[in-house]
Amino acid sequence: MAAYADSVIINKPINPKRSAIQSTNAVFTEKNIDTSSNSYYEAIKEIEAKIAQEDSNYTYYIPLVDLYIKTSQFDKAYSELTFLNNLAKSNKLTAEVLQSASELEASLEKNAKYNTDVAIDLTLLNLILQKYSKAQEYLAICANNPKFLQTFKEVFDTTGNYQAGINLLDRVSKINPLNKDLKKVKAEYLMQLNQKDNAINEYTSLALVMPEDTEIKYNLYNLLVSKNVTEKELVSKVCPQVSEEKAYAEISGMLLEKKNYSEAKIWAEKLIKKYPENVNGYIVMSEVYKAEGNLKDCYDMLKLVRDKADDKDTIAKYNVALAKLSDEPVKQADGLMNSGLYQQALSVLQDANQQDLYVMLSSARANYFLNNKQKAFELLNKAMSLYPDNSDVFYYFAYIFYMEKDLSSARNYIEKSLNANKNNQFSLKLLDVLNKTEADTYLNKISNSLDNQNYTEAMKLTEEALNIDSKNSALFFYKAMILIAQNNYAAATAPLYKAIELNKDNLDAYYYLGVAFDNLSEPENALEYYKEFIKRLPLDDFGESEKKDYANLRIKKLQG
């Protein structure tokens, strides 16, 4: 009830601004409200607030409609009745609500002759009550009401009595013979009754005065096709008063809009054959191919459109469209490859533009993982020749060399990629992986030097590795272990903090921070990190029982 439009309400709108009330659960009727005008408005506010709280309690709506009508708020009454009618169609109204509707309908009857707004509301009330004959009677006296056509459709679409609807439209049309909307509904109902010749006559006259209405064209087209008329007659009736060339373009475009792709393709082909310079045929064909999943032919058609363009804006527009068209199979193929479906990815890419950079790169990736390594490198070299100094081409080379464990070549291409585009996120991530991979090769050497108490060598190796990968949590942890082994607890805390910053799950770093602060006689800090270590231990703490026991022991003593 936030906004009261003339359109059919499917879901009941509720105004969030309505104030809540703290009053009764009683049903609102004239028996429990004052009949003065001001009290009507107060009662309306109270019911609206009640509905805001209990919008699924439909017993409030008929009394609200009654009050809206009493205060001449007919648009609001109509909106509520439309809402109730939609509920009635789904059998969601209780006997109590229907009884209230019947009582309201009886009380309003005497005013219907003098007020078409009341008559329109009575039409809907009778529709709710499934009194279809009475609904049609009230509707018949509302021809000049702005809501007539909307209510007309509600009544006759519900009853399916299309002939009665046509009869009423004929009577109304005598009052307003130029109303095109009435003619459209009549043509629609004639079609529903399979009165094809009459429907064709109606739609033909409408096509003359409403040439932009796609619905009219489409219905007329289908009727004429079913009558097996000649192509010339069909064209002249569906698209009157235009040239044959424009008519073919309009018909193919209209069929495309209606997703009738097979017919759209036939008419686009006719247009291309008769008028090869008219780009509309190629545009429709490209859309049909796209709908069919034939991206290669779609691309070729759009390329023809672009090549026929003679202004910069149109050329730019179709260059963008062509680029997006190439993006679609690449995105689909990349998604398949992320699921390990490399052969399916190649199938998707085979119909795409083979000169497009990202089609080549994705094809190279798929071939590599299908063990067609030579083909993968051929595609990358082709991409390099067509797109020299492209950051993404260098990245793909680096990625494949990394997979081949040729870290030196991989690093070389990553540097080239970042020289071409310092913000290439894929290359930056691969650089981090390369750094970690290379730095990890130091870990065993550092561990051996530490075990042999060769602390100088261990620290030297650690610093070398950190120069390669300054984001490696394990390296900072080893640095701390070297310092702890030398009883330099104060210096060990900084690399332990860094190890945790880089990897919140580095359990040993928490434990040894506890040890370091314990040895530095900082009990509060020691207690904090021993507890954090215990808290983070997994249920299966295999291999950590000695540290766990020691940490628990120190926690007890420190809490003392």
Task: Assign residue 374 the CATH number of its domain.
Answer: 1.25.40.10
Q: Is residue 17 part of a domain?
A: yes
Residue 206 has pLDDT above 50, yes or no: yes
Residues 503 and 530 in one domain: yes
Residues 504 and 482: beta-carbon distance below 8 Å: no
Residues 127 and 37 in one domain: yes
Residues 370 and 450 in one domain: no
Instruction: Using the 3D structure, point to which of 403, 438, 473 is the last residue of a domain.
Output: 438
Give the model's pLDDT for residue 143. Answer: 86
Give the model's pLDDT for residue 542. Answer: 54
Give the model's pLDDT for residue 515. Answer: 94
Give the model's pLDDT for residue 319. Answer: 76
Q: Is residue 373 part of a domain?
A: yes
Q: Of 154, 162, 149, which is closest to residue 135 (Cα–Cα)?
A: 154
Residue 547 has pLDDT above 50, yes or no: yes
Residue 8 has pLDDT above 50, yes or no: no
**DSSP code for 59:** G
Residue 24 has pLDDT above 50, yes or no: no
Per-residue pLDDT of 61-116, as tens digits, reads 999 999 999 899 999 999 999 999 999 988 999 999 999 999 999 988 877 777 88
The mean pLDDT value for 335-352 works out to 86
Residues 380 and 524 in one domain: no
Give the model's pLDDT for residue 300. Answer: 85
Instruction: Using the 3D structure, point to which of 438, 466, 494 is the last residue of a domain.
Output: 438
The mean pLDDT value for 262-271 works out to 94
The mean pLDDT value for 212-221 works out to 94
Alpha-carbon distance of 257 to 527, in angstroms, equals 72
Q: Is residue 262 part of a domain?
A: no
Q: Is residue 264 part of a domain?
A: no
Q: Is residue 146 part of a domain?
A: yes
Residues 329 and 407 in one domain: yes
Residues 421 and 483 in one domain: no
Expressed as residue numbers, the domain containing 10 is 1-159
Give the model's pLDDT for residue 142. Answer: 86
Residues 368 and 450 in one domain: no
Q: Is residue 60 part of a domain?
A: yes
Residues 151 and 12 in one domain: yes
Least confident piece of the model among 72-81, 114-123, 514-523, 535-544: 535-544
Residues 467 and 348 in one domain: no
Q: Phi/psi zone of residue 325: left (φ > 0), alpha (ψ -120 to 50 degrees), beta?
A: alpha
Instruction: Using the 3D structure, point to which of 159, 180, 203 is the last residue of a domain.
Output: 159
The mean pLDDT value for 357-363 works out to 90
Q: Which helix (H) or strand (E) holds 282?
A: helix 279-292
Residues 380 and 454 in one domain: no
Sorting pLDDT into bands at 50, 70 and 90, what band is 312? Answer: confident
Q: Is residue 503 part of a domain?
A: yes
How many structural domains does the chain have?
3
Residues 69 and 8 in one domain: yes
Per-residue pLDDT of 235-249, as tens digits, reads 999 999 899 999 999
Residues 38 and 100 in one domain: yes
Residue 327: what are its φ and ψ, rounded to 5°?
-65, -35
> What percentage of the chain's residues is helix, strand, coil (to nearest 5)?
75, 0, 25
Q: Is residue 13 part of a domain?
A: yes
